Amino acid sequence: MVTKIPAYQGSSFSTLNYVVTIGFGTPKHDLTVSFDTGSDVTWIQCQPCAGYCYHQQEPIFDPTKSSTYSNVSCSAPACSQLQVSGCSDTTCLYGVLYGDNSTIIGFYAKDTLTLSSSDILPGFFFGCGENNKGLFGETAGILGLGRGLTSLISQSKTKYNGVFSYCLPSTTSSAGYLTLSGKAPVNLKYTPMLTDSSMPSFYFLDLQSISVAGTKLSISPTVFSNAGTIIDSGTVISRLPPAAYSSLRQAFRQKMAKYPAAPGIGIFDTCYNLSSYETVEIPTVALEFSLQMIVDLDFFCNSVRCEFVSSLLGSHGNGDASDKGIIGNVQRT
């Protein structure tokens, strides 16, 4: 069985991540959540919000109104699968700390998860967040698609064989998809997903080189391999090792030297004032992965400025050469 869920840009929910709408509980309560390959635990905000709940567009889930909801006990195997857990009396608590310092704390629970009208997962484990602070826009929470035991992919492995794919829409008016199960198309061009024992929940890629205007930059492959590169649907701004970023930024600026520079905005450090130009020649930037998989990057431009951010468009350089690189969702629409 193949399940295909429409996916959308999350701007209408005040987030730059991508969202799907799924149902929790019985009767189902439809909620819009960001889907995140860099997270394992799925969580939503829950009543009574004993700590703090940020504003979300849709009504907050009330577990007392679901006939199939139950809290997970501290002694249950599911509780021990959490990376961060605790106990309130005999009830399992979970916690999540994200890279941007957003934090989620609540009860670990199980209930029916409805992915589509014909596809229902009973007894799905998720977090019922009652103390939630961070950059989640006005969504109801996060759908975890990581490799860890608590993720949707792992919990549904007997049904979908651990297979999923997604297509991110390029505009707010178009729909993409999140698909569970299925087979790869014939003649699909691909690069392998890798694992890293130090971060087993994440999906890694073998980034090997970067080109600007068709010319490969003089960056040692070890700059990428020593750090490692994660592909993450829940990260917007991509990141590269400092040496790779510096080389890319320099090459891009040289190709754009005839256009007037504009002040940077935060981490967006390579900007141009293009308001007096009807046409602009922007150098191509491409990433090359293993198996000669080449991905051309798009640029954010309007009548005022074209923004190119640290190492990739919509990205910035890491502070340390050993920090993991990240290919964010800006580069994959």
- Non-local (6+) Cβ contacts of 264 within 8 A are 270, 271
| Residues 310, 268: Cα–Cα separation, whole Å | 7
Q: What tokens appear for 194 in the block?
A: 């890798």
**CB half-sphere exposure, 176, CA atoms < 13 A:** 22
Q: For residues 134-170, b (16+ Cβ closer than 10 Å) or e, as one string?
A: eebbebbbbbbbbbbbbbbbbbbeeebeeebebebbe
119 is catalytic: no
Please name the helix (run of DSSP H) or strand (run of DSSP E) that holds residue 152, with its range, or none. Answer: helix 152-155
* CA dist 249 → 24, 285, 286 (Å): 45, 11, 13
Decide if 206 is catalytic.
no
The active-site residue out of 62, 196, 232, 323 is 232
Which of 36, 40, 111, 206 does the annotation list as catalytic? 36
Residue 152 — φ and ψ, nearest 5°? -60, -40
The number of CA neighbours under 13 Å toward the Cβ of 286 is: 13
Please give the positions annotated as active site: 36, 232
